[in-house]
Structure 1
């Protein structure tokens, strides 16, 4: 049995899937399995997934397209290792990601979540915002209550997306897995439920990259994201599991617009870069056409 499972749920992800798979296979930590779950795509995702010849890869396919939350849950269910990392089909891992995240989790059973910083990249895999995440003092070892207070006060998701997070499969099952009804904050919602069972370790290195493309779901549903975050913050304040104070929740409500502004700025930068790429491509095609004439 491998020490860690990396799973990639993919639906119509042909544009970046090969690059994502390569970023996993290039890990310096070699003892892992890579589980690819192809969600009955209509593009070439299946062909790309099955084109890699590496004994650590298992490719599975859904008979029909599942909703995102159900597909992510099935991807984790297919994993065999005690430690799991889910990577979206357009995101990337740094070569040392598993090397720096697996040993702390393996050696300290009190840890439930290990996270790192990540780069924000555009459609061409260029870094548009470096070393993002773990703000508000989340580097180092922290209790679940400490993380809950700092997440609420941040007004966004300072822990990050699945690619830069490692968790325990057993606790994932106990916590109930990804909740599809929290469509826009499934990651943050899960991290906080996992932290009921242990501590959080934030490693300072930048070990993943989260892609922001023109078609990113988050860019279109800002109000829903804020509404789900507010609901989560209220739940954390009322649950009694974490030592969250009323002042934390009040500060979190005030911080939500700032979180929205930060996300909007990221999407704007990505769109500007994409438009520049389109313009350069059009100019190149024009020049080639002129030469042909």
Structure 2
């Protein structure tokens, strides 16, 4: 059996119409020596049928009919991976055609204690590019490491993910990535490529319930996982609660699109056209 150069892992649960486009973007990659591991997390839509319909020996599909949560599923996928490198991907996002190629080449230049992410384009519910999210170029420590990466862009050695599994604590079902970065930043090299190699779906798909779940996880990180001075603890804890209150107000008035827009910067017309053309090419 030929061992693939890299494994791509997707856990999916009712991704709807976005799933086909996510899969399309993987098959549109310039780098083709990969395997794709798909784990269903209790979907009730037709996504499992779509996954099983793929006729390609590089794709493996698993389903046990249960809903266990993304953190548990990600650890399962890593254990199933055959390749030396592992790439995260979400079922509702879209890869740039050169994502695998460029991140793989970057990984080869570093040891297996390195995690590499990228910048991203922000897209809306209709898969239109609305902005650009720059990647962080300075490695943060402690709680500041929570936003080290846009989580679907990360890649590292499979061995690294096995040494540093996602927490399976229920409290981190919406913040498993933040917990992982805070836990590993002191002993892992974090690198972000400046190029946008992912179309990250966030505009028009904001969920306040998900935001609550993320905030609860972040509050737990502050409370239990960091050795903080009292003043720093109170500052971080109260800041997350204030952000939650602000999100609640925006949500009540149907203004969450403005909240999401604060996360990305606007593109010039030329940049927007180039990003849209690439997205159109993926969909062909």
TM interval, short-chain normalised: 0.7 to 0.9
Q: 1:182-232 CA deviation, whole Å, 9 max, x = no partner?
A: 122111212333434421111111111221266654x22444433422332
Contact 1:149/1:248 (<8 A) preserved = no
Aligned 1:173-212 pairs, distance under 5 A: 173-181=162-170, 182-212=172-202
1: CA distance, partners of 2:47 / 2:212? 31
In structure 2, the CA distance between the partners of 1:123 and 1:235, relative to structure 1 (3 Å rule), is same
Matched, 1:232 2:225: no
My pick for the range that moved more, 86-95 or 190-199, is: 190-199
Distance in 1 between residues matched to 2:85 and 2:103, nearest whole Å: 10
Q: Which residue of 2 aligns with 1:220?
A: 209
Q: Cα distance, 1:158 vs. partner?
A: 4.5
Aligned counterparts of 2:111 and 2:178: Cα–Cα separation in 1: 21
Who is 1:76 aligned against? Answer: 78
Change over 3 Å in CA distance of 1:270–1:57 after alignment to 2: farther
CA displacement at 1:67 relative to structure 2 = 3.0
Give the structure 2 partner of residue 166 of structure 1.
Answer: 155
SS of residue paired to 2:147: coil
Q: Structure 2 vs 1, CA of residues 13 and 150 (structure 1 numbering), >3 Å: closer, same or farther?
A: closer
C-alpha distance in 1, partners of 2:39/2:196?
Answer: 26
Aligned-pair CA distance for 1:60: 1.9
Counterpart-to-counterpart distance in 2, 1:262 and 1:200: 29
Give ranges in structure 2 of 5+ residues lacking alignment.
262-284
Q: Secondary structure at the match of 1:84?
A: strand
What's the secondary structure of 1:209's corresponding residue?
strand
- State the TM-score, normalized to the length of structure 1: 0.72
Instruction: Give the drift of 1:249.
Output: 5.8
The answer on 1:32 being equivalent to 2:34 is yes
- DSSP 3-state at the match of 1:81: coil
1:229-268 correspondence to structure 2 within 5 Å: 229-233=218-222, 237-238=226-227, 252-253=236-237, 256=240, 267-268=256-257
Per-residue CA shift, 1:90-142, capped at 9, x if unaligned?
Answer: 111111111121122223115421111112211111123312442xx43xxx4
| CA RMSD across the alignment | 3.3
**TM-score of the superposed pair, with normalisation by structure 2:** 0.74
Pick from 141, 148, 170 the counterpart of residue 148 of structure 1.
141
Deviation at 1:54, TM superposition (A): 2.6
Question: Aligned with 1:73: secondary structure?
Answer: helix
CA distance in 2, matches of 1:15, 1:108: 37
Gaps of 5+ in 1: 239-243, 273-293
Bigger Rg, structure 1 or 2:
1
The 3-state SS of whatever aligns with 1:85 is strand
Q: Could you tell me which residue of structure 2 aligns to residue 8 of structure 1?
A: 10
What is the SS of the residue equivalent to 2:141? helix
Instruction: Check the 8 A contact 1:128/1:269 in 2, yes or no.
Output: no
Instruction: Show the counterpart of 2:147.
Output: 157
Deviation at 1:247, TM superposition (A): 8.0
Counterpart in 1 of 2:60? 58
In structure 2, C-alpha distance between the alignment counterparts of 1:245 and 1:191, rounded to whole Å? 20
